[in-house]
Amino acid sequence: MSAHLPFSRLRIDADDLRPLVPIVQLNKVENGSATPIFCVHSIEGVGIPLMTLAEKLQVPVYCFQCTEETPLDSVKAIANCYIQRMKKIQPKGPYRILGYSYGATIAFNIATQLQAQELPETVEHLILLDGSHKYTRTYRNAYRIAYGFAAGDLSSDPRFESELLCAFAIRFASDTDYRALRNELMRQPSWEDRVQCVQDKVMSGGMFSNISTIVFAVNSLRQKFIIADRYIPEQKFQGDVVLIRAKHGAAIVEGIGSDYGLHEVLTIVLLSISHSLT
């Protein structure tokens, strides 16, 4: 199942997984009259995976980052926090919002919150890069295929926790023996004990400068998965969305549909690209 977990294929320095800046500009465009694009990060919570795309655009591009101050109680809480950050840069709409992979779930909620609070026209564009409000459904289905049944509450499931930590370890410690590590993690009595196993292994790989970054990163990853898994949209989006999807990927393979389930909540225009942004 680890192969299904959505860590970015792009290069991310390990210590970047604990961002200090809540919102960053990803390009050097300083056009005061151009409406900026506000991006929501992938599962890692940082803007780096979107930088290559941003550098090709002729408008200012900003990306939210999941700092220690970001509330992870729910998708709605994150979205509300990001709306406040966005309005410090652009106080009034219309807004252009983009969500990449995991970030599509949050971007969708940002857009619907803005429309509920103000007017439908407040959101000029909503662009989803290979993701949707049903983002975690693909990994739920992968879980079912791997184990023969669907998980219950992810917050208390040792199989989910072990798979997540294995995927993290493989990403940052290339010599990881997946099967051996997974078996070791499954024997641990708690999430904290599993984290202890992984942090020691990953630290030995030399990619992280301190253990606290590892602990923050894996706790953040786990919580982001859990809240997205629980997310049910409260409103439909009033307008069209551009979905830019991978030709091949978990969302199509695992059966949520070629529109990633978006027909339930909006009208869409479909384009097809590779999941990688390079």
CA distance 39 to 36: 10
Same domain, 122 and 239: yes
Query: Which domain, by its residues, includes 190?
Result: 149-230
Residue 255 inside a domain? The answer is yes
Same domain, 181 and 47: no
Neighbour count for residue 264 (Cβ, 10 Å): 12
Same domain, 123 and 172: no
Same domain, 127 and 253: yes
Q: Copy the structure tokens of residue 212.
A: 């606290």
CA distance 156 to 136: 16
List Cβ neighbours of 151 (8 Å cut-off, separation of 6 or more).
140, 143, 157, 159, 160
Residue 170 inside a domain? The answer is yes
Q: Count of domains in the chain? A: 2
- The H-or-E segment that residue 160 falls in is helix 158-172
Residue 84 inside a domain? The answer is yes
Q: Copy the structure tokens of residue 109.
A: 């909620």
CATH at 32: 3.40.50.1820
Same domain, 24 and 101: yes
Same domain, 224 and 238: no
Q: CB–CB of 219/164 below 8 Å?
A: no
Same domain, 131 and 251: yes
Q: CB–CB of 84/64 below 8 Å?
A: no
Q: CB–CB of 99/135 below 8 Å?
A: no
DSSP conformation letters of 109-134: HHHHHHHHHS-GGGEEEEEEES--TT
- Which of 110, 89, 88 lies closest to 99, judged by CA? 110
Same domain, 41 and 22: yes
pLDDT of amino acid 253: 46
Q: One digit per residue, pLDDT tens: the chain, 278 residues?
A: 444 455 555 456 677 899 999 999 999 998 777 899 999 999 999 999 999 999 999 999 999 999 999 999 999 999 999 999 999 999 999 999 999 999 999 999 999 999 999 988 999 999 999 888 887 767 666 666 666 556 567 777 888 899 899 989 988 888 889 999 999 999 999 999 999 999 988 888 778 888 999 999 999 999 999 999 889 899 999 988 899 987 765 555 456 777 787 878 775 556 666 665 55
Its sign, for the CA torsion 214, 216, 217, 222, is: positive
CA distance 10 to 3: 15
Q: Copy the structure tokens of residue 126.
A: 């909503």
pTM reported for the whole predicted model: 0.87
Residue 159 inside a domain? The answer is yes
Its sign, for the CA torsion 17, 22, 23, 24, is: negative
Same domain, 222 and 246: no
Residue 2 inside a domain? The answer is no
Its sign, for the CA torsion 152, 153, 156, 160, is: positive
Same domain, 174 and 194: yes
C-alpha dihedral, 248 to 244 to 23 to 226, nearest 10°: -50
pLDDT of amino acid 102: 92
Angle between helices 191-204 and 158-172 (to 10 degrees): 10
Same domain, 128 and 22: yes
pLDDT of amino acid 200: 86
CA distance 254 to 9: 20
CATH at 167: 1.10.1470
Residue 188 inside a domain? The answer is yes
Residue 8 inside a domain? The answer is no
Same domain, 202 and 188: yes
Residue 9 inside a domain? The answer is no
